Amino acid sequence: MVLSGAVVDRLERAGIEVRVVRTGCPGHASELAREAADAGVDAVVAVGGRDGQ
Protein backbone atom coordinates (compact mmCIF):
# COMPACT_ATOMS: atom_id res chain seq x y z
CA MET A 1 0.00 0.00 0.00
CA VAL A 2 2.83 2.38 -0.80
CA LEU A 3 0.74 4.48 -3.17
CA SER A 4 -2.18 4.83 -0.79
CA GLY A 5 0.20 5.68 2.04
CA ALA A 6 1.67 8.53 -0.01
CA VAL A 7 -1.81 9.77 -0.90
CA VAL A 8 -2.97 9.62 2.71
CA ASP A 9 0.12 11.51 3.88
CA ARG A 10 -0.42 14.26 1.33
CA LEU A 11 -4.11 14.64 2.16
CA GLU A 12 -3.43 14.75 5.89
CA ARG A 13 -0.70 17.38 5.40
CA ALA A 14 -3.35 19.45 3.59
CA GLY A 15 -5.57 19.25 6.67
CA ILE A 16 -7.98 16.68 5.28
CA GLU A 17 -9.24 13.99 7.64
CA VAL A 18 -8.63 10.57 6.09
CA ARG A 19 -9.96 7.15 7.00
CA VAL A 20 -8.68 4.11 5.09
CA VAL A 21 -10.92 1.05 5.12
CA ARG A 22 -10.20 -2.21 3.31
CA THR A 23 -13.10 -4.22 2.03
CA GLY A 24 -13.60 -7.78 3.17
CA CYS A 25 -16.04 -9.29 0.70
CA PRO A 26 -18.11 -8.54 -2.40
CA GLY A 27 -20.58 -5.74 -1.72
CA HIS A 28 -18.64 -4.42 1.25
CA ALA A 29 -17.54 -1.24 -0.59
CA SER A 30 -21.18 -0.39 -1.37
CA GLU A 31 -22.10 -0.88 2.27
CA LEU A 32 -19.23 1.35 3.40
CA ALA A 33 -20.22 4.06 0.90
CA ARG A 34 -23.85 3.99 2.12
CA GLU A 35 -22.68 4.30 5.72
CA ALA A 36 -20.43 7.22 4.81
CA ALA A 37 -23.27 9.00 2.99
CA ASP A 38 -25.62 8.44 5.94
CA ALA A 39 -22.95 9.88 8.26
CA GLY A 40 -22.64 13.03 6.11
CA VAL A 41 -19.13 12.34 4.84
CA ASP A 42 -18.13 14.94 2.22
CA ALA A 43 -16.29 12.57 -0.13
CA VAL A 44 -15.51 8.91 -0.64
CA VAL A 45 -12.54 7.79 -2.73
CA ALA A 46 -12.44 4.18 -3.86
CA VAL A 47 -9.33 2.51 -5.21
CA GLY A 48 -9.57 -0.90 -6.82
CA GLY A 49 -6.96 -3.53 -7.30
CA ARG A 50 -6.36 -7.21 -7.63
CA ASP A 51 -4.46 -7.82 -4.38
CA GLY A 52 -1.23 -8.46 -6.26
CA GLN A 53 -2.68 -11.09 -8.57
Q: Give the Å distances, CA to CA, from 29 to 2, 10, 13, 47.
A: 21, 23, 26, 10
The pLDDT of residue 3 is 59
> For the chain, which residues make up each domain, given as ranges?
1-53
Could you tell me which of 40, 45, 36 has the C-alpha nearest to residue 10?
Answer: 45
The pLDDT of residue 2 is 59
Q: What is the pLDDT along the chain (53 residues), one digit of tens a residue?
A: 555 788 889 999 999 999 888 888 999 999 999 999 999 999 998 887 766 55
The pLDDT of residue 32 is 95
The pLDDT of residue 46 is 84
The pLDDT of residue 50 is 67
Q: Give the Å distances, CA to CA, from 34 to 10, 18, 28, 31, 37.
A: 26, 17, 10, 5, 5
The pLDDT of residue 52 is 52
